[in-house]
Amino acid sequence: MIIRTENNEIIDLSKPICISIEINFNGEQPNTYGVEIADAEAYRAGEFIGDVREGGSCNFEKYKIIPHCNGTHTECIGHITKERIYVNDIFDNIFFKAELITVNPVIYSEEIKETYQPKIDEGDLLITSEMIPEVISGDALIVRTKPNDESKKVRRYEETGFPYFTNEAMEKINKSGIKHLLVDMPSIDRMYDGGKLSNHHIYWGLKKGDEVGKNYSKKTISEMVFADDFIKNGVYMCCIQIPDWKGDASPSRIFLYEIIKQ
């Protein structure tokens, strides 16, 4: 299917490029904080067994998942608010223009004058403000970190750690006016930060303990994406798909589409 945008750009919807990690209930998965893995098991009640392989009439499974830790997910401001705000209520458009960039995080040294709350620890890998474009094309920014390989699809981040943004980098992203931030790390904040989540608060323009009111931010963050190296840096149309459930975060399937200039 071919569509034409209001800017006379052509998009071929028959050629999606997936940048999300599937949740494999029966195989290897990425994992953060050492939480329980996403799991599926046949439903059992009395003589009923929801597994054809065990003599059941159909497959009938129940699923257990922690979206923030078990794979690609999209979250909203409800992740850090007392108020119950749900990601399925956020999207007014699931199809938007996004810019993909690749960054090479640097090990913290005293030469780096940027900051993070709480303090940066020796050996931390940082994404600094100079790595973020002055102007971002579209409504979304996708950040791919180096090194980039398929181990991200099954990585146990409790063992490996991951880079994170300085507060100055997040301020720059926030001022760009984007509505969606997509990253290949499990979080835009440091893995263990004493619960401050300073970058989340900067991105959503919220101070810790604030009440959000009715005019809360509708911006989203998608974490644990995977943009393979064959996908070139540049501007794409992006589509984020989520199930229609009420939670601050949801597993997500994310596609990019090349834009054919006219």
Could you give the 3-state DSSP secondary structure of residue 235? Answer: strand
Question: Which band of pLDDT confidence, cut at 50, 70 and 90, is reported for residue 249?
Answer: very high
Contact 166, 114 (CB under 8 A): yes
pTM: 0.95
pLDDT in tens, 6-38: 777 888 889 999 999 999 998 999 999 999 999
Judge if the upstream peptide bond of residue 147 is cis by omega within 30 degrees of 0.
yes
Residue 209 clears pLDDT 80, i.e. is over it? no
Domains of the chain from N-terminus onward: 2-20+72-260 (3.50.30.50)
> Which H/E stretch holds residue 175?
helix 167-175
Question: Which band of pLDDT confidence, cut at 50, 70 and 90, is reported for residue 91?
Answer: confident
Distances (CA, A) of 220 to 60, 138, 204: 33, 14, 9
pLDDT in tens, 166-186: 999 999 999 999 999 999 999
Share of the chain above pLDDT 90, in %: 87
pLDDT in tens, 115-140: 999 999 999 999 999 999 999 999 99
Q: Give the single-character DSSP code of 256.
A: E
Contact 98, 141 (CB under 8 A): yes
